[in-house]
Amino acid sequence: MLVFQYRQHSLRESFFVLVFTTRSLPLLLVHGFRGSPKAALDEAASKYTNIRLCMANVRLPYGIHHTVWVSPKLSPIDDNVQVNTDSETGFRADLIDYLRGYGSENAHDPSSPLGYWIKELSSHDFRPIRVFLVGSVSGRHTGPQLKKFGHPKLGELLSASAFNTPSSWPVVGQFSSIGSFGAQPTSWLTTEWSCSLAGRGARGLRMIYPCVDDVRNSLEGYDAGGCFPYTQRTAAKQPWLRQFLHRWQAGKHTRAAPHIKSYTRISPDGAYASWFLLTRLWLPNVPSSSFFRLYAYIQMSLGCAFKNGANCFTLITSSGRPEAAVNSSSSGSSDKIKPTIAAIPFPVPYDLPPVPYSSDDEPWLVDVPHEEPDVFGRIGEPV
């Protein structure tokens, strides 16, 4: 078991993990605490023989996060096996790069807490894994490291794939917070970021973020708004963003306020997609000079297509190898594009195609009061 808690304000969550974790399986808690919080965590962990701690090497204060990965059951490698046991997507190599990037300098030492887990990963067969991993490591990266993490890594994967996605297919981003993008769309969103996800010349971005009515009518009412920390100050700097925003609508789950973040590229009618990503980190709020700003942790499925119905994707697969999601010989509208290979179900977290904000809709801002009562008859107090 491997748990990461980087955020300085998550000490209480770390204690929760210590109290409720199993007493038999090994647990490594990688954290970013210093001073008295670190001392408190050291003392708490000392009561458990199966728990080890490791300090994360956090170089920049941006994108501090927690990481979650639930693996399939991977078999130990037989000593006599001479073939490559990493997945065809290179998942294990990317995961080890990620751990070494955030770990201490002795990550290469098998006797160190982090080195132990890296050795364990290297001794298991990752061939059953059918997804790509794109991690984000704290710091500024140049040279060979430039495209190993973040959205540049994603762009590298997409450019190396067999996709022939029409330029008319928009990118859809669904997230629970918004950072600073600059004074104009071209400052970053429609240039650097869009280029990584869709290449140059792509048309259209659909950004799904709850409006005030979505929060007001949610299962928690205004209390759900605390999970969407978009502020007046940030919004005032980028009024242009509203043109890209779309409602949170998810069929019978619409009233469940979303905390996941996901990204995909779909046909204009919402019938097909060429790839899908799932992440734990929102759109960024770091300085515009930073090239690495996006995903803290992403599971990405390349080569997927889906039909819009019952909120379920249809994932395109072929012997576990990523494939083109559309028939490149197809012509005309996306309605005529057909999957080229076999498909399996894949859940969709929201309705497609996304519904744009109406003239009366406003994005949820966590520090704005709201007088209209929510579903519980309460008014909205700014956080």
Q: Which residues are catalytic?
A: 259
30 - beta bridge partners?
Answer: 4, 54
Cβ-proximal residues to 325 (8 Å cutoff; 6+ apart), any chain: 163, 165, 272, 273, 274, 275, 303, 304, 305, 316, 339, 340
Query: Within 10 A of 361 (CB to CB), how many other CB atoms are there?
Result: 18
- Has 307 been labeled as part of a binding site? no
| 108 token code pair | 């290469």
| 87 token code pair | 């997945």
> Which among 332, 326, 351 is positioned nearest to 272, based on CA atoms?
326
Q: How far is CA 224 from CA 12, 250, 251, 367, in A?
A: 20, 16, 18, 13
CA atoms of 54 and 85, how far apart (whole Å): 28
Instruction: Cite the beta strand spans of the chain per DSSP E.
Output: 2-5, 27-31, 51-55, 66-67, 132-135, 171-174, 205-208, 245-246, 261-266, 273-279, 297-302, 312-316, 343-347
**Cis amide bond preceding 354, omega within 30:** no
Sign of the CA dihedral with 118 first, then 150, 157, and 316 last = positive
- 115 phi and psi, to 5 degrees? -60, -35
SS3 state of residue 378: coil
CA atoms of 207 and 176, how far apart (whole Å): 11
| 364 token code pair | 């949820």
CA atoms of 307 and 314, how far apart (whole Å): 6
CA atoms of 254 and 65, how far apart (whole Å): 26
SS3 state of residue 116: helix
Cα-Cα-Cα-Cα dihedral of 317, 206, 232, 261, to 10°? -10
Which residues fall in the annotated binding site? Answer: 261
Which residues fall in the annotated binding site for substrate? Answer: 261
